[in-house]
């Protein structure tokens, strides 16, 4: 039962991590610039929203790491 709960949490956190990473603005001349990501580059500095998005992404990544290690240990 506990393993099922961790798997459900892991899937939800995985999807949240994908969405959060895609919300970040591009930092270089990569694919984001090719698809129009550099349009708002002047306005996109180190704002409060960007810092909060970074903090949320780091927190979700830590939860993802915790659930990955927990599932690896439980499924051995």
Q: Give the pLDDT score at 32.
A: 52
Ranges under pLDDT 70 in the chain: 27-46
Q: Tell me the domain boundaries of the chain.
A: 1-18+47-76
Residues 23-55, buried b or exposed e (16+ Cβ, 10 A)? eeeeeeeeeeeeeebeeeeeebeeeeeeeebee
Length of the chain (residues): 76
Does the predicted model carry a pTM greater than 0.85?
no
Q: Give the pLDDT score at 63.
A: 97
Q: Give the pLDDT score at 21.
A: 92
């Amino acid at each position: 039962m506990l393993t099922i709960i961790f798997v459900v949490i892991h899937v939800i956190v995985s999807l949240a991590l994908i969405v959060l990473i895609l919300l970040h603005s591009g930092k270089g001349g990569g694919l984001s610039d090719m698809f129009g990501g550099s349009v708002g580059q002047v306005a996109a500095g180190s704002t409060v929203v960007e810092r909060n998005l970074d903090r949320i992404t780091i927190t979700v990544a830590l939860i993802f790491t915790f659930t990955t290690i927990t599932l690896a240990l439980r499924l051995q």
